[in-house]
Amino acid sequence: MSLAADIGAIFSALLSLDSFEIQSALESDAAWVVGTVVAALGGLLVMLIYRKVPIIERHFERSVMVYSYLAIALIIFWGVIDRFVFNDQEPWSTTIPPLLFMVMAWFGASYNVRLRTHLSFSEFRTAMPRGGQLACLFLDAVLWFIFAVIVIVTTTRLVALSASNFQIVLGTDNIMQWWFLLAAPLSFFLMVGRVFQNLADDLHNWKTGEPLIKQAVIGAD
Which tens digits make up the pLDDT trace of 72-94? 999 999 988 888 888 888 888 88
d(CA 107, CA 120): 19
Which tens digits make up the pLDDT trace of 116-138? 877 677 777 888 888 888 898 99
Amino acid at 169: V
Q: Global pTM?
A: 0.89
Question: 50: which residues sit within 8 A by CB, 6+ positions away?
Answer: 56, 57, 193, 197
Dihedral (Cα; 199, 201, 206, 211), 10-degree rounding = -120
pLDDT tens per residue across all 221 residues of the chain = 588 888 888 889 888 888 889 899 999 889 999 999 999 999 999 999 999 999 999 999 999 999 999 999 999 999 888 888 888 888 888 899 999 999 999 999 999 898 887 767 777 788 888 888 889 899 999 999 999 999 999 999 999 999 999 999 998 888 999 999 999 999 999 999 999 999 999 999 889 888 878 766 555 55
